[in-house]
Amino acid sequence: MTDQEQEIWRRLAEVTDPELHRPLTELGMVESVQVNGQKVTVAVKLTTAGCPLKGRIEGDVTKAMAGVQGIADVAVVTSVMTPEERQKLTQELRPVRHSSVTKEGSRVRVLIVGSGKGGVGKSTVAVNLAVALAQLGRAVGVLDADIYGFSVPRMIGVDRRPVVLSDDMILPVESLGVQVISMGMLVDEGTPVMWRGPMLTKLLEQFMGDVMWGDLDYLVVDSPPGTGDVAITLAQRLHQGQVLLVTTPQVAASKVAVRVGEMAKKVGQRVLGVVENMSYLRCPSCGEPTRLFSGEGGQELAAALGAPLLGKVPVEAAISEGGDLGQPIVFTHPKSESAAVFGLLAKAVDEAPWQVETAVS
């Protein structure tokens, strides 16, 4: 092998698959390299037909070849792995497919974002917090466990289905530096999910055990409101999970959220803190905060559970607009008041002591 060919392979070893997060060469995706004069042709085997990230892989390979001495033209030719090649790949990946988020002693920090009732902005907090943690340089995944009321895909800008390598290996979709899995990526947005408890549990088991999350620092779980089947399953399977409760200032919201916090304690999870959403509206003229809802729900909830109030998120049009467009406010308006609150929330979560309680029998 010539020095030029060695340099080409060295650079290809630095190109990673966007979903598997491992070098193409290590995954067996580089089939061949041919040098003809000043042109190099790199043959890449994609894991699936119609790979949504084909263009990105081609671009990354082309970029990696820039600067190789004597090479002026790069061609990337793609094909698809045979069933046998893909089976071999999945067998190699299976022992390290995810960070064992469901096992005792896992290093992954699991943050379950919950609420007592719907409509308090739980998913908004979960998505913006996840992106804010990613902005701190953390590896973050979001598991949308709100099976009936999924909204994470739209809020974080995911508009495609996950790649399924095998029956027990699903690749999450990346958006804004965050890995995402949701029921909303498996069905059309307007399709109602009419499942009973056992089917919900089975899907959650797949999301927790069969998704190749990679080496995560955080798994942010958007839990459905209340203390139903899903919340119980999450508590049973995510032993190291800590709970972040979202409420509005209204007593009606905070009192119901107390039940979720008490359930967390009963199953051995710690309430990491409380976020009060829609806390106030900043007057555009005088700059003074205006309270839209009565009560001190956030403070009262925190006091009832013996947990800190970690942030008060104001009402800003950019939050709802960003949620509709798949552009969280921490990404589109990083200097806004709400983005600052989410940034401080992310730092508080990141600096918090992380411990697993002993479940109460």
pLDDT, tens digit (0-9, with 9 covering 90-100), for 84-102: 888 888 888 876 554 457 6
Give the pLDDT confidence score for residue 90 in this predicted structure.
Answer: 84
Per-residue model confidence as pLDDT tens digits over 272-327: 999 999 999 998 888 899 898 888 999 999 999 999 999 999 999 999 999 999 99
Q: Which CATH number fits the domain that encloses residue 286?
A: 3.40.50.300
User: What CATH number is attached to the domain comprising 53?
Assistant: 3.30.300.130
Same domain, 129 and 50: no
227 and 191 Cβ atoms separated by less than 8 Å: no
Query: What per-residue confidence (pLDDT) applies to 360?
Result: 37
Give residue 231's domain range: 109-351
Tell me, yes or no, whether 13 and 92 share the same domain.
yes
Q: Is residue 104 part of a domain?
A: no
Examine the fold and report which residue of 96, 126, 151 is the final residue of a domain before the chain moves on.
Answer: 96
Closest C-alpha to 211, from 271, 149, 145: 145
Residue 357 located in a structural domain: no
pLDDT of residue 247: 96
Within this chain, do residues 221 and 297 fall inside the same structural domain, yes or no? yes
Distance CA 60, CA 78 (A): 13
Q: Locate 328 and state its tokens.
A: 């969280």
On whether both 130 and 233 belong to a single domain, the answer is yes
Predicted pLDDT at 87:
86
Q: How many domains does the structure of the chain reveal?
A: 2
What pLDDT was estimated at residue 46?
A: 94
Q: Pick out the chain residues at pLDDT < 70.
A: 95-100, 102-106, 355-361
User: Where among 35, 67, 96 does a domain terminate?
Assistant: 96
Residues 127 and 162 in one domain: yes
Say if residue 145 is in the same domain as residue 275: yes
Q: Are residues 198 and 256 in the same domain?
A: yes
Question: 311, 344 in Cβ contact below 8 A?
Answer: yes
> Considering the domain boundaries, does residue 148 fall inside one?
yes
Token readout for 164 is 């399924």
Query: What pLDDT is stored for residue 105 in this prediction?
Result: 60
Q: Three-class SS string for the chain?
A: CCHHHHHHHHHHCCCECCCCCCECCCCCCEEEEEEECCEEEEEEEECCCCCCCHHHHHHHHHHHHCCCCCCCEEEEEEEECCHHHHHHHHHHHHHHCECCCCCCCCCCEEEEEECCCCCCCHHHHHHHHHHHHHHCCCCEEEEECCCCCCCHHHHHCCCCCCEEEECCEEECEEECCEEEEEHHHCCCCCCCCCCCHHHHHHHHHHHHHCECCECCCEEEEECCCCCCHHHHHHHHHCCCCEEEEEECCCHHHHHHHHHHHHHHHHCCCEEEEEEECCCCEECCCCCCEECCCCCCHHHHHHHHHCCCEEEECCECHHHHHHHHHCCCHHHHCCCCHHHHHHHHHHHHHHHCCCCCCCCCC
| Any domain includes 62 | yes
- d(C-alpha 288, C-alpha 353), whole Å: 35
